[in-house]
Amino acid sequence: MDTIIDVAWYDYVPLVIYFTLVLGIGFLGRRHVSNAIDFLLSGRSLPAWITGLAFVSANLGAVEIMGMSANGAQLGIPTVHYFWVGAIPAMLFLGLVMMPFYYGSRVRSVPEFMLKRFGPAAHLVNALSFALAQLLIAGVNLYLLGTIVNAMLGWPMWVTLIIAAAIVLSYITLGGLSAAIYNEVLQFFVIVAALLPLTIIGLNRIGGWSAFEEKVLAGPGGSQQWSSWPGSDLSGFTNPVLSVVGIVFGLGFVLSFGYWTTNFVEVQRAMASNSIRASRMTPIIGTFPKMFVPFIVIIPGMIAAVLVPEIVAYKEAGGPSDSTITWNQALIYLMRDVLPNGLLGLAITGLLAAFMAGMAANVSAFNTVFTYDIWQRYVQQDKADHYYLNLGRIATVVATVIAIFTALIASGFSNLMDYLQTLFGFFNAPLFATFILGMFWKRMTAAAGWSGLVFGTLSAVVVFIFSRTGAIDLGGQGAAFLAASVAFVVDIIVSVVVTQFTAPKPEKDLVGFVYSLTPKERRTDPEASRHPWYQRPLPMAGVSLGLVIVLNLLFG
């Protein structure tokens, strides 16, 4: 079998070390300290630096690493918008504004917040769309994992899928949900250890930073690829003003706020922290590693596009679709060209760790929402604890099997999966509109909650179909930005209109869920003022924002 990379036998050593440890965390968590660990992890008791790293790590899966290095290779520096505009502000907003409601209201999941604020209809819409999205994204993660393993090790697709699924399955069921956060923190450091040397050695091969700049400027994309603004290639708007507006409002506001503030996979990490202050600090601490992730993900992609002969030729040809090379392979080609055996094994380990953890996060979020938000709420209400525990295990197995089939389908229709995934991005935009309205407007009614979600999502789908059929002509991410923005606006209009004609919930039921009805003690941490400034949400959010602005200026 032809592979891109030549692996030596000892390149498997880091792989064995890492996966032995991951499974070991599961065993230890189960056998020796099961009380303490359950207590520690599910009892809202972790310090903020751990949950903060897990927060970033849960998002650092296949789609992020391969996708963003691919974008880096294709579009260059403007890809940083996905981080500095499309993630940091939303993470800060989650920590400063929204986290007190999630944490203070003591809900177990994001759909449960929907239930308590808007009642069953909105809850069901949210829980079902979230569960479905997680299943399909787990499948996409698995499919990407399969293609990568195939390119690196040459195993056939179906063998890869089954082995990867078995490993993910064993580490979810073995360690339980409780060990997931530990694994994510561990995985974060392994990824950094894998990608940082790749970046540094790659730059060294080119001849340093200034030689790198020269080569990118001389490349097919020219100076557009060396400065982040206006980012026309990324947004698909040729007019620079429109492009900036599209990126700031479409990506920076609607898409990213929707994703970061309502995605249960992320919010769950912050919910596991030990105080309202720590829960608010979780995404804020997370912004610091997050803002530097582009340097070990996008930069290697760009290095590949000027250093690796195959990718250079591919880029010069404009990325033809009939080529055997794809942008997604940029990172793997760079690994082949610059890493000696040994370090190569570590790099492979880092990538596999990220992909499996990403899939594990999807599957375990699916099983929580399926078991507690769907099954326990609507199918079997009053069963003993172990009934739901067993159900959760069965759901995990079924979800993994479904993910294998989704991955097999995706391998036949890779474009289709791209579309599906973009589509699920749209679910988040109306969700964010509903949440933010619901948190600050006590009049907003239950009927407005579900109808806003349904019509918002439908309008995004309509815009998306128009753009696919050519009725709306936007390249790049323009169509996605537009669809999300339309969904956001439609959701707000529908919610406001429906609220006028329906009765609001009684105010006493909204305590803890709406800003004006929640006493200050519930929203804030009375102990916060005793902590030094670097352990308080507001000052740290200010530092983070300042750093991102500086980074934007440096690469603007």
Partner 1 sequence: MVSRDPASTRRTVGAFDVRFFIAIALGLIGVFLLICAVLADPELAKTGGIHANLWTGVALVVAAIVFAVWARLRPMYVDTSAAPEAPPQKVGAPEPELIVHDDDEPRGRTDTGR
In whole angstroms, how close is the CB of 205 to partner 1 at the nearest point?
Answer: 4
DSSP single-letter state for residue 46: B
In whole angstroms, how close is the CB of 367 to partner 1 at the nearest point?
Answer: 21
Q: Tell me the CA distances in angstroms from 322 to 4, 44, 74, 261, 408, one per residue in order.
A: 18, 51, 16, 39, 21
Q: How many CB atoms lie within 10 A of CB 471?
A: 9
With CB under 8 A as the contact rule, the residue among 234, 270, 331, 338 that binds partner 1 is: 338
Q: Give the per-residue contact string, 377-416, with partner 1 (x = CB under 8 A; - = no).
A: ----------------------------------------
What is the radius of gyration, based on Cα positions, of the chain? 23
Q: Give the per-residue contact string, 77-116, with partner 1 (x = CB under 8 A; - = no).
A: -----------------------------x----------
With CB under 8 A as the contact rule, the residue among 6, 21, 27, 550 that binds partner 1 is: 21
Identify the CA nearest to 159 among candidates 174, 171, 170, 149. 149
Task: Indicate the residue type of 179.
Answer: A
Beta bridge partners of 46: 273
Backbone angles phi, psi at 46, to 5 degrees: -90, 145
Q: How far apart are the first and last CA of the chain?
A: 44
SS3 content of the chain, % helix, strand, coil (to 5): 80, 0, 20
Q: Measure the CA–CA gap between 433 and 536, rounded to whole angstroms.
A: 28
Q: Give the per-residue contact string, 205-224, with partner 1 (x = CB under 8 A; - = no).
A: x-x-----------------
In whole angstroms, how close is the CB of 286 to partner 1 at the nearest point?
Answer: 15
With CB under 8 A as the contact rule, the residue among 6, 156, 204, 401 that binds partner 1 is: 204
Which 49-68 positions form the footprint of partner 1 (CB under 8 A)? 49-50
Of the candidate spans 141-149, 235-243, 458-466, 518-526, the one that interacts with partner 1 by CB under 8 A turns out to be 518-526
Region label for 540, one of left (φ > 0), alpha (ψ between -120 and 50) or beta (otherwise): alpha
Q: Measure the CA–CA gap between 167 and 49, rounded to whole angstroms.
A: 27
Of the candidate spans 222-230, 343-351, 406-414, 456-464, the one that interacts with partner 1 by CB under 8 A turns out to be 343-351
Q: Give the per-residue contact string, 157-186, with partner 1 (x = CB under 8 A; - = no).
A: -------------------------x--xx
Query: Which residue, 147 or 349, is less far from partner 1 as judged by CB?
Result: 349
Q: Measure the CA–CA gap between 418 and 527, rounded to whole angstroms.
A: 46
Of the candidate spans 202-210, 245-253, 368-376, 442-450, the one that interacts with partner 1 by CB under 8 A turns out to be 202-210
Region label for 236, one of left (φ > 0), alpha (ψ between -120 and 50) or beta (otherwise): left
SS3 (DSSP) at 286:
helix
H or E stretch including 147? helix 120-153
Residues in contact with partner 1, counted by CB under 8 A, come to a total of 64
H or E stretch including 466? helix 446-469
Q: How many residues in the chain? A: 556
In whole angstroms, how close is the CB of 530 to partner 1 at the nearest point?
Answer: 5
With CB under 8 A as the contact rule, the residue among 5, 26, 46, 98 that binds partner 1 is: 46
Q: Give the per-residue contact string, 242-281, with partner 1 (x = CB under 8 A; - = no).
A: --------------------------------xxx-x---
295 binds partner 1 (CB under 8 A): no
In whole angstroms, how close is the CB of 330 to partner 1 at the nearest point?
Answer: 17
Q: How many CB atoms lie within 10 A of CB 44?
A: 18
With CB under 8 A as the contact rule, the residue among 3, 23, 30, 47 that binds partner 1 is: 47
540 binds partner 1 (CB under 8 A): no
48 binds partner 1 (CB under 8 A): yes
Residue 364 C-alpha from the chain's centroid: 14
H or E stretch including 55? helix 48-58
233 binds partner 1 (CB under 8 A): no
HEC per residue, 62-116 = HHHHHHHHHHHHHHCHHHHHHHHCCCHHHHHHHHHHHHHHHHHCCCCCHHHHHHH
Query: Which residue, 46 or 165, is less far from partner 1 as judged by CB?
Result: 46
DSSP single-letter state for residue 340: P
Enter the tokens of residue 126.
């949210």
Query: Which residue, 50 or 356, is less far from partner 1 as judged by CB?
Result: 50
Q: Measure the CA–CA gap between 80 and 88, rounded to whole angstroms.
A: 11
Q: Measure the CA–CA gap between 521 and 528, rounded to whole angstroms.
A: 11
Angle ∠(75,81,82) on CA atoms, nearest 5: 95
With CB under 8 A as the contact rule, the residue among 318, 320, 412, 532 that binds partner 1 is: 532
Of the candidate spans 200-208, 231-239, 458-466, 539-547, the one that interacts with partner 1 by CB under 8 A turns out to be 200-208
Of the candidate spans 77-85, 363-371, 410-418, 515-523, the one that interacts with partner 1 by CB under 8 A turns out to be 515-523
Beta bridge partners of 273: 46
With CB under 8 A as the contact rule, the residue among 3, 4, 7, 13 that binds partner 1 is: 13
10 binds partner 1 (CB under 8 A): yes
Interacting residues toward partner 1 by CB under 8 A: 8, 10, 13-14, 17-18, 21, 25, 28-29, 32-33, 36-37, 39-40, 42-50, 106, 182, 185-186, 189-190, 193, 197, 200-201, 204-205, 207, 274-276, 278, 337-343, 345-346, 349, 511-512, 519, 521-522, 525-527, 530-532, 535
